[in-house]
């Protein structure tokens, strides 16, 4: 089974290289960028401006292959790939919750963006705490092993 | 630009028809299901069992086309598609945060599942509150207009 998607837009951000990127929006506080939505989809952006946060699903186009055990950015040990947010995955879909600042026509100004410049956008969803938050969540390896490096290394180049 | 993905697994759930499905995991409390991961990816599930919640990204295979203005499950008015979580989207990727109960080999027992039986799984990510929660989030149209219907209608068949 082969699933085919087409980008609905593209991310513009200050990050042109993987090295030195923030690894998650929560580590990219205040970084501004733009999600440009292709003109044929603009009508679908109506009513989005009322949301303070949106979810960007992106195709991590610089991802190359994957290993099932990886050393994630936040650690120095090997872990199962699906227990990490490492970008090199069988289907390299990135999930970022970003702050929505403004919408002008087909351009969404966002903050706290952790996405590489030129990354294709697959979907935009409103962020709804009821649908996404699990405050009782426990953290697995991240809970005990997190070392809180705020920048990515070169491991995923 | 065409992006090609292949399923890494498949969802087994009690929901064989779109009609009457819970519209989000938070409305599917206690509903049990299984995410079956194909054998070649099992190694990547290591260390996932420490997480209480996981994110399932799925290809909503029963989605057929899309409209840029939709009447979402929670409302009776037309809204911009990207301001809703409606399943009929340009790239029909579903995002569900579910409770991880147990992992046996390639089978993840999960709870609070809102996904149709037979849905292809694209990616599994650990749910990490720091990466996903925005407690200060505001809700746009959902904040004022939510009518809290717990079941989906027939609109997206």
Residue A140 domain flag: yes
pLDDT of residue B156: 41
The residues pairing with B120 across neighbouring beta strands, listed in sequence order, are: B10
In the structure, what pLDDT confidence band is assigned to residue B42 with cuts at 50, 70 and 90?
very high
Per the structure, how many domains does chain A have?
1
Q: Looking at the domain assignment, is residue A78 inside a domain?
A: yes
Contact A93 B57 (CB under 8 A): yes
Which of B27, B103, B132 has the highest number of chain A CBs within 10 A, making it the mutation to test binding with A?
A: B132
Q: Which residue of A90, A99, A148 is the best one to mutate when testing the B interface, meaning the one whose CB has the most B CBs within 10 A? A: A90
Q: Looking at A14-18, A97-101, B33-37, B145-149, which range is the least confident one?
A: B145-149
Torsion of CA A119, A44, B61, B14, to 10 degrees: 120
CA dist B70 and A71 (Å) reads 42
pTM: 0.84
CATH number of the CATH domain containing B46: 2.40.30.70
DSSP label at B119?
A: P
User: Residue A33 in contact with residue A11, Cβ under 8 Å?
Assistant: yes
- pLDDT at position A17 is 86
The answer to whether residue B157 is domain-embedded is no
- Residues in chain A within 8 Å Cβ distance of B73: none
Residue of A3, A99, A138 with shortest CB distance to B52: A138
Do A32 and A113 contact (CB within 8 A), yes or no? yes
Full domain range(s) for residue B120: 10-145
Of A48, A59, A134, nearest to B127 by CB-CB distance is A134
Domain assignment present for A75:
yes
Winning range, highest mean pLDDT, from B47-51, B70-74, B115-119 = B115-119
A6 in a structural domain:
no
pLDDT tens digits, one per residue of B60-81: 999 999 999 998 766 778 999 9
- A91 contacts B5 by C-beta, under 8 angstroms: yes
What is d(CA B43, CA B45) in angstroms, rounded to the nearest whole number? 5
CA-based nearest residue to B127, from B142, B104, B110: B110
In a domain, B58, yes or no: yes
Domain-embedded: residue A79: yes
What pLDDT shows up at residue A145? 44
Our CA-based measurement puts residue A66 at a distance from the nearest CA of chain B, in whole angstroms, of: 10
Cβ separation of B126 and A53 shorter than 8 Å? Answer: no
ipTM, 2 decimals? 0.84
Partner-chain contact A46 B1, CB within 8 Å: no
pLDDT at residue B154 tops 50: no
For residue B152, is it within any domain? no
State residue A115's pLDDT score.
Answer: 93
> For position A58, what pLDDT does the model report?
98
Reported as a pLDDT band with limits 50, 70 and 90, residue B143 is low
Chain position carrying tokens 């904040």: B143
Bigger pLDDT: A156 vs B99? B99
């Amino acid at each position: 089974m082969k699933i085919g998607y087409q980008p609905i837009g593209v991310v513009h951000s200050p990050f042109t290289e993987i090295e030195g990127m923030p690894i998650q929006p929560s580590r990219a506080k205040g970084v501004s960028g733009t999600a440009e939505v292709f003109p044929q989809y603009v009508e679908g952006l109506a009513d989005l401006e009322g949301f303070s946060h949106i979810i960007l699903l992106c195709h991590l186009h610089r991802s190359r292959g994957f290993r099932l055990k990886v050393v994630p950015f936040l650690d120095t040990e090997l872990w199962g790939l699906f227990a990490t947010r490492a970008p090199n995955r069988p289907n390299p879909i990135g999930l970022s919750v970003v702050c929505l600042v403004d919408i002008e026509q087909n351009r969404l100004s966002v903050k706290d963006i952790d996405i590489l410049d030129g990354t294709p956008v697959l979907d935009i969803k409103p962020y709804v705490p009821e649908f996404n938050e699990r405050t009782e969540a426990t953290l697995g390896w991240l809970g005990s092993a997190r070392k809180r490096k705020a920048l990515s290394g070169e491991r995923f180049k």
